[in-house]
A and B are shown apart, each in its own frame.
Chain A
Amino acid sequence: MANGLNLLFQFLDSFAFIVLAAAGLAIIFGIMGVINLAHGEFIMLGAYATTLANIQFGLPLPAAMLAGVAVTVAFGFVVERTIVSGWLPNAISQRAIGRNVIEPLYDRLADSMVATWGLSLIMVQGVRITLGNSLDQIGTPLGNIAYGGFSYSLYRVSLAGVALAVLLGTYALFRYTTYGMRARATIQDEDTARAMGVDTERTYVTTFAIGSGLAGLTGALYAPTITMVPGLGSSFLVEAFVAVVVGGPSVVLGTTLAGGLLGAINATVSNLFGTFFGRIALLVTAIVMIRFLPDGITGFTERLRDRLQEGA
């Protein structure tokens, strides 16, 4: 019984971690066709900003978390304008030599991976140089929940609730806001959307800012529970990346299903064989999923649904 409860908590913890890590990345990938390998570092930025706001500047934790999100959004805006769209360097070069020097990274999946990888190297080492090898950690709120010899961090389990809220919020964003409408039109067909007057560039900037904000939120939320080292982003990146690919084209549903599937596998295998093997199982599942369901879970379910409708 106690072990069953333990498994449940591991699942909730894993689910929350994967969904929160993946949400920002999924939005950017789904709408802009950009794979941001610096996503982990955006999370790190949010975590660091939150920690500094709380410990150095004495802000209460919720306010510090907001500060973390704000910093990451601002940074995301700068990155989008300089690297992803190339707007700033092109504006400069237009004036200097009369032509653009950079192509935007939209829909250039491999190139965006490589470029954002360079960015992540800069960010990790840059933070290490300026802020040292580690920061003091904020204490974990809410304490532990104890049951029959086990105990689990209540805070981490409750993050599952936050993850669900994020998923619902993202769904509402896409469904009920004008931004959401513009974003969905752009996913469907960028040229048509532009022809119909959608300012695709503004949509992209907003999208990247939202994606960054979600990464910052993840960092802020996990700041009290993880060791604050510059390389902390890489443990998020792996899960996020894999969940986005496995989830498929539908941002909200895909992330939810991937979080559920991978979280379950990770939790179960970790429970039986330890965290290392849980991780390996997660990664191997991803490889197998990519091979057999290259469009991800939601890509597959879309085709299945079409075929069932067809047969009816």
Chain B
Amino acid sequence: MSTNDVTSDPDIRQTAAELATGDRTDTLLATDELRKDFGGFTATDDVDFSVKAGELRCLIGPNGAGKSTLLNLITGTYEPTAGSVYYNGHDITDLDPHQRVKRGISMKFQVPSVYGDLTVRENARLPIQRFADGAERRRRVDAAIEAAGLAGSEDVDASQLSHGQQQQLEIGMAASLEPDLLLLDEPVAGLDVAEREAIAERVTRLNEQEGIAFVVIEHDTDFVASIADEVTVLHNGDVFREGPVEEIESDPEVQRIYLGGEH
């Protein structure tokens, strides 16, 4: 463990505590000593992690570092072994996932999981039908399909879409909930350069125009560099480094954990 160990960073600790008491209103999300054990394996090790409103944070780290687990803890899909999650000043640790979604957290899963047997339009409609009816609904569904670049494919079964199109559809569906915090788990895995650029552009646009805060898990360093404000590096379930993307890129310790020096 390096001396730059962020878990002992007093600023992060303070942020979480302030969030709990309702101060520091520009911090949107904070976790406090969040821990998740699976049997004998600790996936998330007392993590303190926070995101400001409107921030675009990337979460990187070697495989098995606990990135997806952290996202699942934030959404509530996993229950923590210990620790808390704060959102907008409230302790949401005991809330069910659907309740957190209603408060403004949204997620795109790691494995593309569009509803395969439903058409593109039926997929796009599902998150929207809770908010809008009739003509307004149709407008928003069409807009979502358009933004995903799928205009003209409304009646295609989602399972027929290409991988890139599915990712776009999923991001669109998550965004159509009008969240304040959008979690993307590997949005460009398996895509070619053009598709990656399209997604990077879309994420940046959503972040800048709609003010949506992002936490994006990705391995592609170019993609990360092109969109991130801040980067958090996870390793062995713990926060290893945190800082602006330039800093992290040039940090030799970060290179080392990826190359397997430390395990």
B4 smallest CB distance to A (angstroms): 27
Question: B37 — which chain A residues lie within 8 A by C-beta?
Answer: 307, 310
Report the separation of the CA atoms of residues A302 and B42 in the bound assembly, to the nearest whole angstrom. Answer: 16
| Residue B40 at the chain A interface, CB threshold 8 Å | yes
Residues of A within 8 A of B134 (CB): none
Is A56 on the interface with B (CB-CB < 8 A)?
no
Query: Is B152 part of the contact surface with A, judged by Cβ < 8 Å?
Result: no
Closest to A304 in B: B39
User: Which residues from chain A contact B39 at a C-beta distance below 8 Å?
Assistant: 302-303, 306-307
A309 to B39, CA, bound (A): 10
A299 to chain B: closest CB distance in Å?
A: 10
Q: Please, which residue of chain A has its CB at the minimum distance from the CB of B40? A: A306
When chains A and B are docked, how far (Å) is the Cα of A217 from the Cα of B47?
55
- What residues of chain B lie closer than 8 Å to A306, measured between beta carbons? 39-40
Cβ distance A144 to chain B, nearest Cβ, rounded Å = 49
Interface size on A (CB < 8 Å)?
A: 6
Question: What class of interface size applies to chain B in its complex with A?
Answer: under 10
How far is B39's CA from A303's CA once the two chains are assembled, in angstroms? 5
Distance A270 CA – B115 CA, assembled complex (angstroms): 50
- Nearest B residue to A310, CB-CB: B40
Give CA–CA (A45, B37) in the complex, Å: 47
Q: Which residues of B contact A302 (CB under 8 A)?
A: 39
**Residues of A272-312 whose CB lies within 8 A of B:** 302-303, 306-307, 309-310
Question: Which of chain B's residues 23-62 have a Cβ closer than 8 Å to chain A?
Answer: 37, 39-40, 42
CB distance from A304 to the nearest CB of B (A): 10
The interface residues of chain A lying within 8 Å CB-to-CB of B42 are 310
A249 to B39, CA, bound (A): 15
Report the bound CA distance from A302 to B39 in whole Å.
8
Q: How far is the CA of A307 from the CA of B38 in the complex (A)?
A: 9
Nearest-neighbour CB distance to chain B for A3, whole angstroms, equals: 44
How far, in whole Å, are A310 and B40 apart by their CA atoms in the complex? 6
Q: In the complex, A303 Cα to B38 Cα: how many Å?
A: 8
What's the minimum C-beta distance from B232 to chain A, rounded to whole angstroms?
Answer: 26
- Closest residue of chain B to A309, judged by CB? B40
Q: How near does chain A come to B142, taking the closest CB pair, in angstroms?
A: 38
Alpha-carbon gap, A124 to B186, bound state (A):
53
Segment 59-88 of B: residues with Cβ below 8 Å from A: none
A306 to B40 CA separation, bound complex (whole angstroms):
5
Distance of A241 from chain B, by nearest CB (Å): 27
Alpha-carbon separation in the docked complex, A89 to B219 (Å): 45
Inter-chain CA distance A250–B77, complex, in Å, is 27
In the complex, which residues 121-141 of chain A have their Cβ closer than 8 Å to any Cβ of chain B? Answer: none
Q: Which residues of B contact A307 (CB under 8 A)?
A: 37, 39-40
A302 closest partner in B (C-beta): B39
Complex Cα gap A307–B39 (Å): 6
Complexed CA–CA distance, A306 and B39 (Å): 5
Shortest distance between the CB of A273 and any CB in chain B (Å)? 39
Q: Which of B175-198 contact A (CB under 8 A)?
A: none
CB distance from A307 to the nearest CB of B (A): 7
What mask results when residues 27 to 71 of chain A are scored 1 for a CB within 8 Å of chain B, else 0?
Answer: 000000000000000000000000000000000000000000000
A309 to B40, CA, bound (A): 7
Q: A146 to B37, alpha carbons, bound, how many Å?
A: 55
Instruction: Output the nearest chain A residue to B42 by Cβ-Cβ distance.
Output: A310
- The distance from the CB of B37 to the nearest CB of chain A, in whole angstroms, is 7
B83 to chain A, nearest CB (A): 16
Q: With A and B bound together, what is the CA distance between A306 and B42 in angstroms?
A: 11
CA distance A310 to B82 in the complex (A): 15
Q: Which residues of B contact A303 (CB under 8 A)?
A: 39
Cα separation A309 to B37 with both chains bound (whole Å): 13
How far in angstroms is the closest Cβ of chain B from A298?
13
Nearest residue, chain A, Cβ from B41: A306
**Residues of B contacting A309 in the complex (Cβ-Cβ under 8 angstroms):** 40
Least CB separation from B81: chain A residue: A307
Instruction: State the B residues within 8 Å of A (CB).
Output: 37, 39-40, 42
Give 11 pairs: A residue, B residue, CB < 8 Å, sorted on A.
Answer: A302-B39, A303-B39, A306-B39, A306-B40, A307-B37, A307-B39, A307-B40, A309-B40, A310-B37, A310-B40, A310-B42
| Apart from A306-B39, A307-B39, 9 more pairs, CB < 8 Å | A302-B39, A303-B39, A306-B40, A307-B37, A307-B40, A309-B40, A310-B37, A310-B40, A310-B42
Closest 5 CB pairs of A and B: A306-B40, A306-B39, A310-B40, A303-B39, A309-B40
